[in-house]
């Protein structure tokens, strides 16, 4: 089994939930991991949270070009390479595409899609310096389409399409690029769902449980450390929900 010793990883949107679980899983395997998130989130981590060994913090507003440049400059100065990049930062603003505000559409696409690939472009020279690596983009089952969340669906569908194209371009460099499309995952955000919606969602999952952030972290670990012959793929981690609803029998 591969370990992450001597590997350097960058995870965006990693202050809590799925991103934080990814950081902890890679750190447990021996990686040096940069946990990045908005400045106020990083401040709270530095002040209150015991971070695992090998974890470094860095404020990152993925929307801001200078902030993206600063985190890459930090990695260059400290480590001189980057082996693993996980784009986990994301937002969703629910509204029908027929009446969503232009600024909400732009905000969602910028964070979920455009910023991720701007960071990838900046990171690629560091990954080449590492003589290969793994890029994992966290998408969503919503890329298939979801009522009332067209902007979010578009951003995640775009992320998947661009990742597949990226895999064709960087394969010769020894770099893999894949997406993970989570289904329902128990996070602070999903906890805000109305109870009746949550109950219906859980009943519709064939394995009869909701996912947890560690389920996604385990999949990231596989892609980053074990899956060197897998690239351009979308791994749907949803407890079987994508194949059908057992309550519809």
The tally of domains found in the chain comes to 1
Answer whether residue 178 is part of any domain.
Answer: yes
Rounded-to-integer distance, Cα 157 and Cα 68, Å: 23
Mean pLDDT of 5-26: 95
Answer whether residue 1 is part of any domain.
Answer: no
The enclosing domain of 70 has a CATH number of 3.40.50.720
Question: What's the pLDDT at 175?
Answer: 98
Question: What's the pLDDT at 2?
Answer: 63
| Global pTM value | 0.92
Answer whether residue 175 is part of any domain.
Answer: yes
Q: Is it the case that residue 106 has pLDDT exceeding 60? A: yes
Give the chain's mean pLDDT.
89
Answer whether residue 164 is part of any domain.
Answer: yes
Answer whether residue 191 is part of any domain.
Answer: no
The pair of three-digit structure tokens given for residue 186, joined into one six-digit string: 């128990």
Confidence tier at 192 by pLDDT (50, 70, 90): confident
Give the closest residue to 120 by CA, choosing from 149, 77, 89. 89
Q: Is it the case that residue 55 has pLDDT exceeding 90? A: yes
Answer whether residue 129 is part of any domain.
Answer: yes
| Greatest mean pLDDT among 110-114, 133-137, 199-203, 244-248 | 133-137
Q: Is it the case that residue 93 has pLDDT exceeding 80? A: no
Q: Is it the case that residue 144 has pLDDT exceeding 70? A: no
Mean pLDDT of 36-49: 86
Give the single-character DSSP code of 125: H
Classify the phi-psi angles of 81: left when phi > 0, otherwise alpha if psi is within -120 to 50, otherwise beta. Answer: beta
Q: Which of 9-23, 58-72, 84-98, 171-185 has the lowest mean pLDDT?
A: 84-98
207 touches 216 (CB < 8 A) = no
Say what angle helices 150-170 and 115-129 make with each other, to 10 degrees: 20
Cα Rg, the chain, nearest whole Å: 18
- CA atoms within 13 A of residue 130's CA, in its CB half-sphere: 25
Q: Is it the case that residue 28 has pLDDT exceeding 90? A: yes
The pair of three-digit structure tokens given for residue 4, joined into one six-digit string: 């992450």
Answer whether residue 47 is part of any domain.
Answer: yes
Show the domain range for 35.
8-184+213-235
Residues classed as catalytic: 152
In DSSP notation, 4-68 reads -TT-EEEESS-SSHHHHHHHHHHHHTT-EEEEEE-HHHHHHHHHH--PPTTEEEEE--TT-HHHH
């Amino acid at each position: 089994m591969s370990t992450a010793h001597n590997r350097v990883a960058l995870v965006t949107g990693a202050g809590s939930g799925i991103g934080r679980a990814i950081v902890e899983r890679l750190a447990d395997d021996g990686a040096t991991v940069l946990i990045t998130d908005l400045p106020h989130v990083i401040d709270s981590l530095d002040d209150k949270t015991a971070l695992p060994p090998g974890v470094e913090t860095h404020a990152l507003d993925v929307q801001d070009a200078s902030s993206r440049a600063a985190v890459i400059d930090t990695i260059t100065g400290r480590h001189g390479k980057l082996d693993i990049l996980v784009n986990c930062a994301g937002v969703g603003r629910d509204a029908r595409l027929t009446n969503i505000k232009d600024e909400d559409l732009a905000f969602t696409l910028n964070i979920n899609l455009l910023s991720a690939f701007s960071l990838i472009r900046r990171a690629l020279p560091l990954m080449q310096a590492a003589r290969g690596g793994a890029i994992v983009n966290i998408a969503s089952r919503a890329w298939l389409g979801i009522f009332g969340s067209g902007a979010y669906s578009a951003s995640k569908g775009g992320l998947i399409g661009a990742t597949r194209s990226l895999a064709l371009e960087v394969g010769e460099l020894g770099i893999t690029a894949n997406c993970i499309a989570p289904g329902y995952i128990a996070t602070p955000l999903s906890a805000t769902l109305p109870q009746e919606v949550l109950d219906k969602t859980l009943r519709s999952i064939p394995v009869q449980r909701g996912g947890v952030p560690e389920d996604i972290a385990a999949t990231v670990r596989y892609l980053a450390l074990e899956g060197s012959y897998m690239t351009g793929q979308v791994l749907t981690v949803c407890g079987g929900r994508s194949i059908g609803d057992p309550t519809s029998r």
